[in-house]
Chains A and B, each alone.
Chain A
Amino acid sequence: MKTLFSSYHVWAYLAFAIVILALPLIGDEFWLNRVAKYLCYGMLGAAVALTWGYAGILNLGQGLFFGIGAYAMAMSLKLKSYTSMQQGSETPVPDFMLWNAEPGAPTDLCCITPGSWLWIPFQSQWVGLIVAVVLPAVFAYIMGRIIFGQRISGVFVSIITLALVLLTRLIVTDAQPLTNGFNGLTDLGWFTVFGVELDPYSKVTYMVVAVALIIVLALTRMLVATRAGTILQATRDSDTRALYLGYDVPAYQSFFFAVSAGIAGLAGMLYVIVAEFASPSFLELSFSVTMVVWAAVGGRGSILGACIGAILINMLEARVSETESLVEAWKLIIGFVFVIVVIYLPKGLSGLAHDLMSKLQSAPKLSSVQKEEAHQ
């Protein structure tokens, strides 16, 4: 039973991988660019499922990690943009910094605006890439050590994470000379790998995102299948029991919290590559709450389920936004879907699929038992 059970999981992941890898065969570049964004959201959904479903930590500030990843990459790509070379300096300087500079400030990253030197390492796109993943993870680990080390749990963790993302949004919008404030970072250049420029409207870029998503899903699924993953779920069910078995519960929670943050950072980074902008809207509360809805609808108990939930909801939203009369109603519709799912499908779409599969699997088993009985 256990092998059957796990094998259909493997098939589900394979089927998903094949579908997203095959999409370039049927769609044009414009459509693929849009789907690539949804795949980034899918990755974000998986990150939410990892903490919410497996660790029982409802993070209402996951957008913080997505935002850090997005901004780190956007800083690198902004410096690669042709707009950064038009300030009359030898080295790239973002256009908005010139607009925000004090009169007479030297046109150089070192000191054009207060704190602009922070941008200097981002002249390498690889720094942007590494910071996008590592900084959220490290930040989350430290946060986790402090929060979980104090035995804070449940709704209080949600409130703290919620406050942190809003605080960060305030800082980012306020630091106009450093971040371009409300306007975010736009007019970005392209990421380059082995001499190939990742044009957001190209099949290559789509494939990069698709492959990254498949790798992240597979690794995350493997991670939760390890003993450590089981122990994490154990801490979700009863942290006291786990503690009295000798497990350092905050260490487990912080580790997986950091992994989830790293995935969210990666998603944000890829999103910037395909969407060509980073904006403080990533740090809005509504965005972080939306991610939770994706995971709830897809099924927070399943990495793949939450990912598919995110993709489906965004596809639906895109479809709805083409009908003008429904645009205004979208928030209502998604709210209604959320309520329905919470009441009737607490395990989301993946829970539904799981129940269907178990029924399909138990049906032939029953008949074999009946056959045996008939034989006797």
Chain B
Amino acid sequence: MNAVALELDGLAVDFSGFRAVDGVSMAVAHGELRVLLGANGAGKTTLMDLISGKTKSTEGRVYVHGRDVTNQREHKIARAGVGRKFQIPSVFSGLTVRQNLEVAQSGQPGVFANLKMRLDTEAQERLDETLDLIGLTDEAETEAGVLSHGQTQWLELGMLMIQNASVILLDEPTAGMTAGETAKTAEIINRLKGKHTLLVVEHDMAFVRDIAERITVLHLGKVLAEGNVAFIENHPDVKAAYLGKQGIS
């Protein structure tokens, strides 16, 4: 159970002189939920871009379950088991909620493997379960483009579940949510924990306390500290660099 699901080894990217991520090494165990903290420009989103293949790294390696996926093309990394949720929710707006989840079931991603009409019963059941889990059963036949902001975020989470990604990257999953929506999101994320390995970028400290086990703090592209919530909250360097004199409110 304690096998490492995601390992970064000295990962860095150099944007013509500016090192947005500068030698980050970390290991996230299977089933763990890791929160990435850091001020604006600390390199959190860039780190996710490097892991998922959106940006090519200039140094270091990325391993998913021991497999080297460094700088592979995005869909190859996705097939290796990395799922990603973007800061701005991105779903297929012209398709119904059900179709969105059907597409997310990407076990066989080839064109010719998909020249068939429907999913098998087992897959259908999983789809219904997921709909229930994200609370969108009633909206199954609704076009995703008309969902509320919160519902869109949950749909995207549902898509990651059904994609069966072993490592899930979440970039600010509660951005722009109401308190009620945030609570529900925390509930969904807590359910993902254990089965999936999660790496979450988040600013909302109340939410972080709800979900986090371990926190990694980034500062200017480097790892500043790593530990549990209490350790991070009392870490002097973190206070100075990120939280300011007031500490965590």
Give me the interface of A with B, judged by CB distance under 8 Å: 1-2, 223, 225-228, 230-231, 233-234, 236-238, 240-249, 251-252, 255
Q: What's the count of A-B pairs with C-beta under 8 Å? A: 88
Residues of B within 8 A of A (CB): 52, 74-75, 78-79, 83-84, 86, 90-95, 99-100, 102-104, 106, 109-112, 114-119, 141, 159, 163
A sample of 13 cross-chain residue pairs with beta-carbon separation below 8 angstroms, ordered by A number, consists of: A227-B114, A227-B115, A227-B117, A230-B102, A233-B95, A236-B94, A238-B92, A244-B75, A245-B104, A245-B109, A246-B79, A247-B75, A251-B110
Known contacts A1-B141, A230-B102, A231-B114; A246/B109 CB under 8 A: yes
Contacts of B159 in A (CB 8 A): 241, 245
Question: In the docked arrangement, what's the CA distance between A227 and B83, Å?
Answer: 20
Cβ–Cβ contact B117 & A241, under 8 A: no
Q: Are B94 and A243 in contact (CB under 8 A)?
A: no
Report B45 CB to chain A, min CB distance, Å: 14
CB < 8 Å: which of B78, B100, B116 contacts A243? B78
Chain B residues lying within 8 Å of A236, measured Cβ to Cβ, are: 94
Ranked 6 nearest A-B pairs via Cβ:
A246-B78, A228-B114, A237-B92, A227-B114, A246-B79, A234-B92
Chain A interface mostly helix, strand, loop or mixed? helix
Residues from chain B with a CB closer than 8 A to the CB of A227 are 102-103, 114-119
B2 CB to nearest A CB, Å: 27
Contact between B74 and A234 (Cβ–Cβ < 8 Å)?
A: no
**B91:A226 contact, CB within 8 angstroms:** no
**Which of the residues B78, B79, B83, B95 comes within 8 Å of A234, measured between beta carbons?**
B95
B166 to chain A, nearest CB (A): 12
Bound CA–CA A251/B104 (angstroms): 17
Residues of A within 8 A of B52 (CB): 244
Closest to B112 in A: A228
Q: Let me know if B111 and A228 touch, CB within 8 A.
A: yes
Knowing A245-B104, A246-B109, the reply to whether A240 touches B114 (Cβ < 8 A) is no
Known: A226-B115, A230-B102, A246-B75. 19 other contacts (CB 8 A): A1-B141, A226-B117, A227-B114, A227-B119, A228-B115, A231-B114, A237-B91, A237-B94, A237-B95, A238-B91, A238-B92, A240-B90, A243-B74, A243-B75, A244-B78, A245-B106, A245-B109, A247-B75, A251-B110
Residues of B within 8 A of A230 (CB): 95, 99, 102-103
Given contacts A226-B115, A228-B111, A252-B111, contact A245 B94 (CB under 8 A): no
A227, closest chain B residue (CB): B114
Most buried by B among A227, A236, A238: A227
